[in-house]
Amino acid sequence: MKGFGILKGLGVTLKHLVDTYVEDIKAGRDRYYTEDGVRQRMTSDTKGIFTINYPEERLPLAEAFRYVPFLVYDEGEDGERSIRCTACGICSKVCPSQCIWIERAEDPETSKPLKTPAEFAIDIDLCMNCGFCAEYCPFDAIKMDHDFELAVYDRIDVNIHRKERLLKPASYYASIRPESYALEQKAKAEVAARKAARRGNR
C-alpha cells in the first residue's frame, strides 16, 4: 500500500514522543536535576528525553577526559608549593603542535641549570588536546585538565597560559582523576619502600 512506509515512520516518531512522557511519569521528580537522573539518561536503556540541561546539570566527565594541560604542584605541610616539573623538556619535544615553551631556571650564582622551570607557557590556541605531554611526562608533572569552561572575549594574551595559571595543586588532580592518582601514589610508595629497603641492606 502506498503511504504505509511513511505511516510506519511516523509511528516511530510518535513512540519517541510518548516515551518522553511515560518516562517522566515513571521516574517522577528524580529524573531531572539529580545525579542519578543524569546517569540514567546516559545509559543504553535510556528512553524519552535525552537532554542534559547544561549548565544546571552536567555530563559526568570520564576520568580519561582531556582538555588543556596543567602543571601539578605538591602542597607542603606549611603551604609551600613544590612544582613537580623538572624542566626536562620531554613534553615540549613530543608536542605535535609545538605549543609548549619551557625556560629552564638557572642558578643565579653558578648559572648551572636547575631542575625547575623558570617559565612554562602553553599557547592553547595551538594546543590540540592530544594528551602526549601528560602521557610521556616521566614525573607526572603535567596533566590534562577537565575544566572546559574557558571561553574568553579576548585571546591574544589570555590564551597563552603561563606558569602561574597552569599550576594547580595535586589535590585538584586527585579530585579529577582519582584512579590514576591512586595508581601513581601507589607506584611512588613502592619505589620509596624499595629505596628504603636498599638503604637498610647497606
Residues 57-96 that bind another protein (CB under 8 A): 58-59, 61-68, 87, 89-90, 92-96
- Beta-sheet pairing, 160-161 with 113-123: antiparallel
Q: Is residue 22 near another protein by the rule CB under 8 A?
A: no
DSSP 106: E
CB of 192 to another protein, least distance (A): 22
Between 182 and 201, how does the x/- string for binding to another protein read (CB under 8 A)?
Answer: --------------------
- The three-class DSSP label of residue 104 is strand
Q: Is residue 32 near another protein by the rule CB under 8 A?
A: no
Closest to another protein by CB, 74 vs 129, is: 129
CA pair distance 53, 97, nearest whole angstrom: 34
Using CB under 8 A, which residues numbered 36 to 55 contact another protein? 42-45, 50-55
Kindly tell me which residue out of 149, 164, 199, 201 binds another protein, with binding defined by CB under 8 A: 149
Closest to another protein by CB, 26 vs 93, is: 93
For residue 151, what is its C-alpha cell?
571561553
Q: Is residue 30 near another protein by the rule CB under 8 A?
A: no
Partners of 117 in the β-ladder:
104
Peptide bond into 55 cis (omega under 30): yes
CB of 78 to another protein, least distance (A): 30
For residue 202, what is its C-alpha cell?
647497606
Query: Which residue type does 150 have?
Result: L
Q: Is residue 107 near another protein by the rule CB under 8 A?
A: no
DSSP 109: T
Q: Is residue 164 near another protein by the rule CB under 8 A?
A: no
- Nearest Cα to Cα of residue 181 among 137, 133, 143: 143
Closest to another protein by CB, 8 vs 199, is: 8
Q: Is residue 151 near another protein by the rule CB under 8 A?
A: yes
Q: Name, in order, each residue with C-beta under 8 angstroms of 151's C-beta and a sequence gap of 6 or more.
A: none
